[in-house]
Chains A and B, each alone.
Chain A
Amino acid sequence: MALLKHPKVEALENSLSAQLKRDLSEKELFSFAPFDEEEAELTGASNYSYWRSTLHAFSKNRVAMFLLALMLIIVLFTFIQPLLPGQYDAFVVTNGDNGLPLKNKQPSAEHWLGTNSIGQDLWARLWSGTRTSLFIGLACAMIEACVGILMGVLWGYVRKLDFLFTEIYNVLDNIPSTIILILISFILKPGVGTIIFAMSLTGWIGMARFIRNQILIIRDRDYNVASRCLGTSTWRIIVKNLLPYLVSVIMLRMALSIPGAIGSEVFITYIGLGLPATVPSLGNLINEGRKLMMSPSLRYQLIYPTIILSIVTISFYMIGNAFSDAADPKSHV
């Protein structure tokens, strides 16, 4: 990155050279030159900003920008859709002219994606389900990141805790998460909050191990040893030396844990421990569709939710990859 000359610096240099050209008396020669701390800093600093360069590198990736825009539109649309005119409610069973529910109706002008096995509008349920699943994915990723980073940093950096944490990891990693999921569903009421809590309870372990391995790699690099010798506190080393180095890998891992969480919601629903069937989510919709997939005319109930699910997960995956490439300072010129 080119060093731009600040106008103030230029003025200072000019005035100094003008002073030197003059004949100076002895007294003037040995007096202190004018010193301005702010101006002195300016000569050494470039106008490089980490986040600006990251955003700049990211915005050059056209595919990722397109997917980001698509994701924003989808997220916005899940909120706008119920407000649009002529939409059906995701929870209301539509009745036909004869007063009976319109079950398994094929896609038509009235029901854009048809109705499900009890007569609810699939289009409305699809967007309501996408909203729920996205919320679950984002919430789980945030909680996992916060807890996982904290634990992983402690595990990796503080040597005394390593043995203890490794043993705890070995134990926790071997306790089947189904047991914990079922226990929680007995204790708490099933719902979105419960499923987020249950998934985060086991989800942070993988994140913590990942961060720990990363920290181990850079813990004893020379700049950290130097920093320790100068008496920098542990907290400052972690926040200023270690974490900024890991931003790109952490972002990647977080971006991948969003589709991961959405996928495990599908899995949990599949084994019968997910959200109650009344709450639409992508997992519930796919599970309902799966039950009908034997009859080819009803396969639309499986195909539409899977299309949205695939778009959402692939987009987050690609955006995460692109962002982590962009966040790597080695790729900034």
Chain B
Amino acid sequence: MARYLGRRFLRSFITLFIILSIVFILVRQMPIDGYFPNIEKMTDAQIQNGLHQMGLDQPILVQLYNFFKELILHGNLGTSWVYRDNVPVAEILAPKIPVSIKLGSLSLLFAMLIGLPMGTFMAKYKGKFFDNLGAAFIVLIQAVPSAVYYLFIQLYGTEWLHISMLFDPDKAISWVLPVFSMSLGNIAYYAMWLRRYMVDESKKDYVTLARIKGVSENKIFFRHVFRNAFVPMAQYLPTSFLNTVIGSIYIESLYSIPGMGGLLVDVVKKQDNNMVLGIVLLYATVGIIGLLLGDLMMALMDPRINLVKKGGER
């Protein structure tokens, strides 16, 4: 197991290195004009001076070497150029990350509280009214672009609750709408997959055997079928929780929540290269750790899955 983990970590580092290098080279293909908001008024010498200060006048490989030297030896991501002048990247991200994580985790918890029972009951009453109702909800949420229903929830939700459209972290009520709208997609997702896995699972022989033995229908469904059907879904739980750090562009910009959502788009547009790389590093790390934790969790929950023998590279 230790060897497997070691190999996996090594490979993850190589992947991270390649991702960062590619993004590093990509963002340096942007036009020079973008680095200076008022380039028309600047002289050539000023532009050269500005480029020199940001280290952009060196050959690209030298820049890349310097970036990784700083990152690996000192854990230094550099400073922001445009977003907030000369403030270290880590310092800008630090207050934003907890906001997004709090919002995302709350919405995930809410989605599981609603989505998992919904999927279970849809499977239990398959083909009945509740199942059809749930299916209609899932189609609606999956097919309609989220921008649309986010807008209408904000529009009519705030009127209904008599609150301001903007977010106020101290008021508990202003968390309700963002958390609710953010969880809708996940509710549909959990309900849909849990229903499908449970329907598949309830066709297996051990369910028939339990029924013959006279185990009560509820016990079969909630103790046996649900537990087995939940295993394939558990794989994505760590990724979902870690991914809350990314935030939601729509939700956070609609309610003006000071989180991570939209920050990446913002700094890419402003060509704040150090910020871009810092955020990409964060997201990629989170994604890779999430995959690893998901595989480990599967192996813990289902003793038939052996990561070391094969299938670890799923």
Interface residues of A (CB under 8 A from B): 166-167, 170-171, 173-176, 178-180, 182-183, 186, 259, 262-263, 266-267, 270-273, 286, 290, 293, 299, 302, 306, 309-310, 313-314, 316-318
Contacts and interface: CB of A to CB of B under 8 A. Distances in A.
Contact of A271 (B22, B145, B262): B262
B151 A267 contact: no
Interface of B: 15, 18-19, 22-23, 26-27, 29-31, 139-140, 142-148, 151-152, 155, 249-250, 262, 264-265, 268-269, 276, 280, 283-284, 287-288, 313
A11 to B, nearest CB: 48
A175 B22 contact: yes
Contacts of A180: 26
Given A186-B31, A270-B250, A271-B265, A313 B18 contact: no
B283 A293 contact: no
Contacts, number: 97
Contact of A310 (B148, B265, B283, B288): B148
28 contacts: A167-B15, A170-B15, A170-B19, A171-B19, A174-B15, A174-B19, A174-B280, A174-B283, A174-B288, A176-B264, A176-B280, A176-B283, A178-B264, A178-B265, A179-B26, A182-B30, A183-B26, A263-B147, A266-B145, A267-B147, A272-B265, A293-B155, A306-B151, A313-B143, A314-B139, A316-B143, A318-B139, A318-B143
A171 B22 CA distance: 9
Nearest to A313: B143
Contact of B148 (A170, A171, A176, A309): A309
Contacts of A176: 23, 264, 268, 280, 283
A310 B144 contact: yes
A175 B26 contact: yes
Interface of A is mostly: helix
A287 B300 CA distance: 47
A309 B276 contact: no
B264 A270 contact: no
Nearest to A310: B144
Given A166-B313, A310-B143, 12 more contacts: A170-B19, A170-B288, A171-B22, A174-B19, A175-B23, A176-B23, A183-B30, A270-B147, A273-B265, A306-B151, A314-B139, A317-B143
A309 B26 CA distance: 34
A317 B139 contact: yes
A318 B145 CA distance: 15
Which of A263, A271, A293, A299: most chain B CB closer than 10 A? A271
Given A171-B19, A290-B151, A314-B139, A263 B146 contact: yes
Which of B27, B30, B144, B283: most chain A CB closer than 10 A? B144
B268 A179 contact: yes
Contacts of B29: 183
